[in-house]
């Protein structure tokens, strides 16, 4: 496990008081390691988890050549480019039961979508293409005609193993389990999947002016919104949230909260108390209980941030629970990774999306590259100083010509949550980028399911 000093030494020109957003991402990717603690989960409980092992297909999918259409199966070698093909219907193959027999030259079998291809047949003509001879019934004993030029040999046959071959990896370790992957696992007859256990993340808000819901309003105080935005973003990631509420600016209370969080959680997120304000014990306590760096990041919003590790003072094997399953913290965890986010509500969300989310995904063992940024044309001019990354709340829409356009959702103050609530993405105005003119293309990080 590397110390912060060791990581800092690996990064060229590391200066905690002048970090770019890219420096922060590089630092965090070195700081965190996957929490590797696997459990078998029933498919219905595996959605959103990360696969702990490759899943190998135990058989070919589909297990037999089968029909892709309702129609008639026959040997496609008989097709001619310039003449209709007449065939005698000799049986019916239903999905789920193999037709007994084999199809000879001049014969076909009426077949349903998904039914096993009978021996001797490699091609299916959809029933809509067929002329019934002489009447309009085309069952066993009757004849069909296939007009020329409509089909080639092998058409409308799904090949055994075309989805997956036996022994081939169907799913890969590190993949997030999506609905399609759940379905693929089910198609292999698997009842459970090996998943990493959910990450446990403790959160608390700091600040004497922060009110919990239900408390009476008082002058100068604000309701705790960060607790809910962080809860929402962690839940969307599939983390188990250990909610420690609001912790007053009191050394004993802060110490108790950090100690409990470090013993129970893999990561701790706090908001507030990381800037230069006085009467703030948060930073003091972070320093006392861990290995923590205090950064100033060249970005907007989200300038101050604390990062490091809070060391567990008690046994690091406090059990936690998720649903009916109980887990032990890894014995090699030695405390928890700390993300001390700035207090301003939008700064919390932006630093979470830009830094904490990718770091937590890495801790979850997820291997996917971050979603690509979209390109959209700005429908307004935006002032932007080179030398810092700005994340502007915006709404991306499709213009009449089909291209994407983006517009800010109003005031970009780091306390203005309304413009965040109205946005569907963040424009990412990169470190070296300058002013944006109307019609300029900008990068956008879409919220999708993340927030």
Ligand X SMILES: Nc1nc2c(c(=O)[nH]1)N[C@H]1C(S)=C(S)[C@@H](COP(=O)(O)OP(=O)(O)OC[C@H]3O[C@@H](n4cnc5c(N)ncnc54)[C@H](O)[C@@H]3O)O[C@H]1N2
| Residue ranges in contact with ligand MOO by CB under 6 A | 300-304, 342, 344, 347, 414
> Does the footprint of ligand X cover residue 290 (CB under 6 A)?
no
Count of residues interacting with ligand X (CB under 6 A): 25
Pick 229 or 433: Cβ nearer ligand X = 229
- Cβ burial 229-240 (10 Å sphere, 16+ → b, else e): bbeebbeebbbb
Question: How near is the Cβ of 187 to ligand X at its closest, in Å?
Answer: 45
In SS3 terms, 315-349 reads as: CCCCCEEECCEEECCCCCCCCEEEEEECCCHHHHH
Strands 374-378 and 441-446: antiparallel
Residue 222: contacted member of ligand MOO, ligand X, none (CB under 5 to 8 Å, by partner type): ligand X
Interatomic CA distance for residues 366 and 329, integer angstroms: 19
> Does the footprint of ligand X cover residue 388 (CB under 6 A)?
no
Pick 185 or 346: Cβ nearer ligand X = 346
Task: List the one residue out of 309, 448, 305, 441 whose CA is nearest residue 371.
Answer: 448
Q: What is the DSSP letter of 437?
A: -
> Does the footprint of ligand X cover residue 270 (CB under 6 A)?
no
Residue 237 tokens read as 């990631």
Query: What contacts 398, CB < 8 A, 6 or more positions away?
Result: 404, 405
Pick 406 or 429: Cβ nearer ligand X = 429
Question: How near is the Cβ of 226 to ligand MOO at its closest, in Å?
Answer: 12
Residue 276: contacted member of ligand MOO, ligand X, none (CB under 5 to 8 Å, by partner type): ligand X
Among 57, 107, 226, 392, binds ligand X (CB under 6 A): 226
Among 46, 93, 274, 285, binds ligand X (CB under 6 A): 274
Stretch that binds ligand X, among 5-13, 33-41, 217-225, 371-379 (CB under 6 A): 217-225
Distances (CA, A) of 123 to 80, 83, 102, 221, 396: 13, 17, 14, 74, 47
Residue number of the CB atom closest to ligand X: 343
Pick 66 or 271: Cβ nearer ligand X = 271
> Does the footprint of ligand X cover residue 304 (CB under 6 A)?
yes
Interatomic CA distance for residues 54 and 170, integer angstroms: 8
Question: How near is the Cβ of 166 to ligand MOO at its closest, in Å?
Answer: 54
Interatomic CA distance for residues 355 and 362, integer angstroms: 11
Judged by CB under 6 A, the chain residues 121 through 150 that form the site for ligand X are none
Site map (CB under 6 A) of ligand X, residues 240-269, x = contact: ------------------------------
Interatomic CA distance for residues 94 and 71, integer angstroms: 11
Pick 48 or 345: Cβ nearer ligand MOO = 345
Stretch that binds ligand X, among 136-144, 160-168, 220-228, 312-320 (CB under 6 A): 220-228
Interatomic CA distance for residues 197 and 216, integer angstroms: 39
Residue 226: contacted member of ligand MOO, ligand X, none (CB under 5 to 8 Å, by partner type): ligand X
Percent helix, strand, coil in the chain (nearest 5)? 20, 30, 50
Q: What is the DSSP letter of 59?
A: S
- Residue 124, burial from CB neighbour count under 10 angstroms (0-12, 13-18, 19+): buried
Q: What is the DSSP letter of 356?
A: I
Residue 272: contacted member of ligand MOO, ligand X, none (CB under 5 to 8 Å, by partner type): ligand X
Among 48, 91, 272, 335, binds ligand X (CB under 6 A): 272
Strands 131-133 and 143-146: antiparallel
Site map (CB under 6 A) of ligand X, residues 395-414, x = contact: -------------------x
Pick 408 or 414: Cβ nearer ligand MOO = 414
Pick 124 or 347: Cβ nearer ligand X = 347
Question: How near is the Cβ of 35 to ligand MOO at its closest, in Å?
Answer: 28
Among 43, 222, 374, 404, binds ligand X (CB under 6 A): 222
Judged by CB under 6 A, the chain residues 331 through 370 that form the site for ligand X are 342-345, 347
CA torsion, points 373, 376, 382, 384, in degrees to nearest 10?
30
**Residue 137 three-state SS:** coil
Interatomic CA distance for residues 342 and 305, integer angstroms: 6
Length of the chain: 451
Question: How near is the Cβ of 348 to ligand MOO at its closest, in Å?
Answer: 8
> Does the footprint of ligand X cover residue 234 (CB under 6 A)?
no
Contact positions toward ligand X, by CB under 6 A?
Answer: 205, 207, 209-210, 222, 224-227, 271-277, 303-304, 342-345, 347, 414-415
């Amino acid at each position: 496990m590397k110390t912060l000093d060791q990581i800092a030494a690996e990064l060229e020109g590391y200066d905690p008081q002048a970090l770019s957003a890219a420096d922060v991402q590089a630092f965090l990717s070195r700081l965190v390691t996957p929490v590797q603690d696997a459990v078998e989960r029933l498919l219905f409980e595996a959605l959103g988890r990360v696969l702990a092992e490759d899943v190998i297909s135990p058989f070919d999918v589909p297990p037999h050549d089968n029909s892709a259409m309702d129609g008639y199966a026959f040997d496609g070698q008989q097709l001619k480019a310039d003449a209709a093909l007449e065939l005698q219907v000799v049986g019916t193959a239903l999905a789920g039961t193999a037709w007994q027999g084999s199809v000879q030259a001049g014969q076909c079998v009426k077949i349903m979508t998904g039914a096993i291809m009978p021996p001797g047949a490699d091609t299916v003509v959809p029933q809509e293409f067929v002329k019934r001879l002489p009447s309009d019934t085309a069952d066993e004993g009757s004849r069909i005609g296939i007009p020329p030029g409509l089909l080639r040999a092998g058409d409308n046959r799904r090949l055994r193993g075309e989805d997956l071959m036996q022994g081939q990896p169907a799913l890969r370790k590190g993949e997030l389990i999506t609905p399609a992957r759940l379905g693929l696992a089910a198609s292999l007859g698997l009842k459970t999947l090996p998943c990493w256990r959910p990450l446990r993340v403790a959160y608390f808000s700091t600040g004497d002016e922060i009110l919990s819901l239900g408390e009476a309003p008082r002058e100068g105080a604000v309701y705790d919104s960060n607790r809910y935005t962080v809860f929402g973003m962690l839940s969307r990631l599939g983390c188990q949230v250990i909610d420690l509420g609001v912790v007053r600016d009191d050394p004993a209370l802060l110490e108790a909260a950090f100690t409990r969080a470090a013993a129970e959680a893999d990561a701790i997120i706090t908001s507030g108390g990381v800037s230069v304000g006085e009467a703030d014990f948060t930073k003091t306590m972070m320093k006392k209980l861990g290995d923590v760096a205090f950064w100033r990041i060249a970005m907007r919003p989200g300038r101050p941030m604390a990062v490091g590790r809070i060391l567990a003072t008690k046994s690091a094997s406090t059990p936690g629970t998720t649903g009916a399953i109980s887990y032990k913290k890894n014995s090699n965890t030695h405390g928890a990774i700390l993300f001390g986010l700035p207090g301003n509500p939008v700064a919390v969300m932006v630093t979470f999306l830009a830094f904490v989310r990718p770091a937590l995904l890495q801790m979850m063992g997820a291997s996917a590259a971050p979603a690509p940024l979209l390109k959209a044309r700005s429908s307004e001019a935006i002032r932007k100083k080179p030398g810092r990354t700005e994340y502007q709340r915006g709404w991306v829409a499709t213009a009449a010509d089909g291209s994407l356009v983006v517009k800010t959702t109003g005031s970009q103050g780091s306390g203005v949550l309304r413009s965040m609530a109205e946005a569907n993405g963040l424009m990412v105005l990169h470190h070296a980028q300058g002013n944006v003119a109307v019609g300029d293309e900008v990068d956008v990080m879409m919220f999708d399911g993340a927030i």
